[in-house]
Each structure stands twice: as structure tokens, then as C-alpha cells.
Amino acid sequence: MKSQIQSQDLKECVESLATPEGWRVAYPILQRAGHAALDEVLEGLSHPNWRIRKWCVAFMDHYADARCVSALVRALDDPIADVRRHAVHSIGCQPCKQTPLTLDVIELLIDRAMNDESIRVRRAATHMLGNQPQDDRAAKALWQIINKDSHPKLLSNAKWALKQHAK
């Protein structure tokens, strides 16, 4: 696919992710390129524009491979909550990838669920814990959230996730 879509074109697509109008055109092109766009998307994860970082990390939901692990983990500490929320999803959604990423997904999700300053990121991480294989660490963290937090949507996500672990 990269022979059909040149690397320079893919770089331009990544740059276009900065605006809603550019995203509408560029993101489908990147998706059609799939894994062939990964080098350019990885570069986009260090872009100064947070919208580009957000859409690059979202792209990795389906296309991340071993090359992406450290960049995705770094994205969990991005100063912009929307980037972190998409990183949580991309890391936690292993079934969407051709090959699961080699990292401790549970540990990373627990950290975001318990410690992120953004309630949206915490809710996403809590939900993604429910999509993981049963793990005592996740169950313990979910119980802590249920016992210590008062945010209704977060509590709902934690209860749902805990039920998934009980199945």
C-alpha cells in the first residue's frame, strides 16, 4: 500500500489531522494505508499539536504493533486528557490488533483509573479494565474505586467492569 500512497503523502495526512476538516479527509486515507502508515503515525505522536497526537494514538487502536508500545505508554502521560483517553483505549483494546501488544495492560489501566486527573480518562480506563481477562489486581482496584469514589458514571463503569471479572 505504501507504494500507492507515498510516505510524503502520509506525512501530509498526519499533518492534516490538526483540524476537523483535515481529519475528515486524512484519517480515512491513513486507515486505508493501514500498517503502511505506521511510521508516519508514530512520528505524529510526538507532534506539538495535541489533535494530531490524539488521532495518531486513536489510529493505533487497530494498527499498533510492537514498535508502538513505548509511544503508547508515553501517551498515557500526555498533558492533554483527550490524548490520554485515546491511549487508554488503544492499549486496552487488544482484540482490535492483529497481534496483542506485549505490555502489562492491567497495570497501566489501573494506574490511569486510579490516578488520572481527568474523570473522562479514569472512566475510560475503568471501562477498559472490564474488557480484560480476569485479574485479581483489576478486581481489587475496581473495588477501591467503588468504595472511595462518588462520581456516578465512574462508579457505574467500575461495577460493570467488576461484573465482567466475576464471569
Q: Domains of the chain (ranges plus CATH)?
A: 1-103 (1.25.10.10), 105-167 (1.25.10.10)
In this predicted structure, what is the pLDDT of residue 167?
A: 77
Q: What is the pLDDT of residue 102?
A: 92
**Residue 126: which H helix or E strand, with range?**
helix 119-129
Q: What is the pLDDT of residues 4-60, one digit of tens each?
A: 567 779 999 999 999 999 999 999 999 999 999 999 999 999 999 999 999 999 999
Give the side-chain half-sphere CA count within 13 A for 129. 37
pLDDT band at 97 (very low <50, low <70, confident <90, very high): confident
As a whole number of angstroms, the distance between CA 12 and CA 16 comes to 6
The verdict on pTM exceeding 0.85 is: yes
Helix pair angle (7-16, 50-63), 10° resolution: 120
Per-residue cell: 94: 487488544
Asked if residue 61 lies in contact with residue 96, where contact means CB atoms within 8 angstroms, the answer is yes
Residues above pLDDT 90, as percent of the chain: 89
8 Å CB contact between 37 and 30: yes
Which range (58-72, 90-104, 125-139) has the least confidence? 90-104
Mean pLDDT for all residues in the chain: 94
